[in-house]
Amino acid sequence: MENNHPVNIYIVSDSVGGTANSLGKAAMSQFPSANIKLHGYPFIRGEDTLISILEKAAEENAMVLHTLVSDDLTKVAQEYCSKHEIYCVDLLSPIIREIQKRSGVQPANKPGALHEMDETYFDRIRAIEFAVMYDDGRDPKGFLEADIILLGISRTSKTPLSMFLANLNYKVANLPLVPESHIPEELWQVDPKKIVGLTNNLDMINSIRQERMISYGLNPETPYSNKERIERELEFSNDLYEKLGCLVINVEKRSIEETAAIIVSTLKLDKKKLNHLEEYN
């Protein structure tokens, strides 16, 4: 018989805490049936604040994952957790010390250095704005400026994938495919190496569309969710992909992150931007 006691994980950081949060979620994913809760405590600056959090962690027998850059706060966390037998993992200090040892360079010890508003940050904002502007084929001219163009019938994850790729600094435009609609001339002017055709399993699309209708308080059996209609849409999209000679990805059993990784690696996009993708894995 499984023991399913609640497990509390405290994410403590003097910055955003994204690194520790991602690691905590990655570990949690291995225990889908466990009762695990993440508690975030970002932007910790003072010793008193840190101690109060650790006191609460001790009361709940919580695990503590921290990315404290400050030597003083790191020391406080280590000593308090050791004294009170709190499971505590310092995710940054060992790596920082090893880099310092190998490079001979002193660390900046600057909280939030990873998230400074440099040119990369502003590129990301511009990419997100681009994705919003050219979502759902609003302006075909965007195809000529985009790094990536996503095509697909309804419910193939075009918009969420566009936003995810935009957060990796790619300019993405997407176009919903409907058999009755005209394919914009601009699409044929684009290098097919920039185009990605998204597809999905007929039954999966049918199920998703029915659930969408139910969420709107409507009858799930509509022309939108009709299997014959969906089959015709899939045939239309697959014919178009073949004519374009573009990359085709079936998103049925893939997460947004997995699909994005395939797109970035297959299209051989900017390697510098590819590094950002690793933050999500």
**19 belongs to an annotated ligand binding site:** no
Q: Residue 153 annotated as binding?
A: yes
3-state secondary structure the chain: CCCCCCEEEEEEECCCCHHHHHHHHHHHCCCCCCCEEEEEECCCCCHHHHHHHHHHHHHCCCEEEEECCCHHHHHHHHHHHHHCCCCEEECCHHHHHHHHHHHCCCCCCCCCHHHCCCHHHHHHHHHHHHHHHCHHHCCCCHHHHCCEEEEECCCCCHHHHHHHHHCCCCCEEEEECCCCCCCCHHHHCCCHHHEEEEECCHHHHHHHHHHHHHHCCCCCCCHHHCHHHHHHHHHHHHHHHHHHCCEEEECCCCCHHHHHHHHHHHCCCCHHHHHHHHHHC
154 is in an annotated binding site: yes
Q: Is 142 annotated as a binding residue?
A: no
Q: Is 49 annotated as a binding residue?
A: no
* Residue 229 annotated as part of some ligand binding site: no
Is residue 156 a known part of a binding site? yes
* Residue 186 backbone phi and psi in degrees, to 5: -60, -30
Q: Is 97 annotated as a binding residue?
A: no
Contact 153, 178 (CB under 8 A): yes
Known binding positions? 152-159
Known binding positions for ADP? 152-159
